[in-house]
Chain A
Amino acid sequence: MPEVPAAPEAPAASHAPPLSRRGLERLDLLLLSAEALDLNGGEAMVWMSEEMGFTGLFANRVELWKRRCHNPLRRATRRGDLSPAETDALIRILCALADRLYPLLRALLSNAEPEPVRRQRWQLFEGRLAELVRERMNPRRVGVQTLLDPQRGERQRHQLIRALAYGAGNGGYGRLRASLHDPVV
């Protein structure tokens, strides 16, 4: 069993404004990317949630899934905001997943890897991500179409992997959280 990082106290968390719809969209896409990197990503997410003591917020996998459905790009999207405690818990789970997947993230980002190997890794990730996006997201949304487009979505897919790598672990929590609270202009 991998070691689960403890969730340290975040003093500012309870006073934080709720995450915007754009922030929720990015958070869910980052969780989806973690799932694309790990075949058991969905299970790992539930396990992490339990291990990190978030069962009070997400009693089971359905509750966890319901929170993720606040992403406006979802096929069955839910209205309303998530509470700051719920979004912070989701960000903590994401950081722990990214920490666990760090060797894979690193391999995708490293220029030291031989080019064919690197390309193959990216194809594998992009293929899995596209499968998950087609399965769960609304294909009529421009954001979904862009993400699935081999050329137009490339920058965004790379950005998702970079965000996971720089936001991995307990140290990455503050950075990732601040980024998800970026203003929408």
Chain B
Amino acid sequence: MNLSPVKQTLRYDQVSCRLQVEGLPDVSVGQGNEAVGIITGWNLRWSGRPELEGRKDHLLALMAVVLPYARHLISGVARPFGGGDSPVSIAPREQGGHSLELRSSQPDTAPLTLELDDAELADLVRVLDQLRLDPRLQLKLELPEPQPLHPREVLERVPLRRRLVAPLGGALAVAAAAAFGLLLPEPRPQQPPPGAVELRGEP
């Protein structure tokens, strides 16, 4: 009788990409044969692009940058996620779209950059959502819950030039009014009419 755990493959499809996760049930905690408690590998296939594959850490790093990035995009804030030391980073492109960069842990391997449009990014977000919500994946992913933005981030959503228009315009209006006030001649002190002096002299 063979009691070794059966290798499971979880597959999630969208129009532009397919995510496949391979793993085994963690029998030490009593998981059933259908479950995946240990991820042994994964690959992400894009139509017309190189296939990505890696270990569990890389998959978690991908989720840790792509999902918060999408969360911020819903609020209209496009800011980079994942620094130079992270295996995955994502940033908005100036000409539109998004740039996903993957750095291999192998030495002398150049980073791979994928340029995605909004639809491809939405597909990627959906496959990652499908994976994290799949009841067969019985593994704690430790991804932070989406949170409302900080007031500063909401403020920074408006370009600096537009944010400065109102206060600068107000300051200029005050300065112009003050300058106009300085240009006006000071009123001369009123001379009392001669008759008034005489009248004042009477008892």
Contacts and interface: CB of A to CB of B under 8 A. Distances in A.
Interface of A: 12, 102, 105-107, 109-112, 159, 162-163, 165-172, 174-179, 181-185
Counting chain A CB atoms within 10 Å of each CB, the highest count among B74, B118, B129, B130 belongs to: B74
A183 B151 contact: yes
- The 7 A-B pairs of least Cβ separation, nearest first, read A171-B129, A110-B119, A109-B118, A178-B146, A179-B74, A109-B119, A111-B117
Contacts of A112: 117, 119
Contacts of B154: 182-185
Contact of A183 (B73, B132, B149): B149
B114 interface: no
A169 B147 CA distance: 18
For the residues of A in contact with B, the DSSP-based class is: helix
Interface of B: 15, 67, 70-71, 73-76, 97, 117-123, 125-126, 128-130, 132-133, 145-151, 154-155
Contacts, number: 88
B97 A169 contact: no
15 contacts: A12-B145, A109-B117, A109-B118, A110-B118, A111-B117, A166-B71, A166-B125, A171-B132, A172-B125, A176-B74, A178-B147, A179-B146, A182-B148, A182-B154, A185-B155
Contact of A162 (B67, B118, B123, B128): B118
Given A171-B133, A185-B155, A179 B71 contact: yes
Given A107-B119, A175-B67, A181-B148, 11 more contacts: A102-B122, A106-B15, A109-B117, A111-B119, A167-B74, A169-B129, A171-B126, A176-B74, A178-B148, A183-B151, A184-B154
A163 to B, nearest CB: 5
Which of A106, A177, A181 is most buried by chain B, counting CB atoms within 10 A of its CB?
Answer: A106
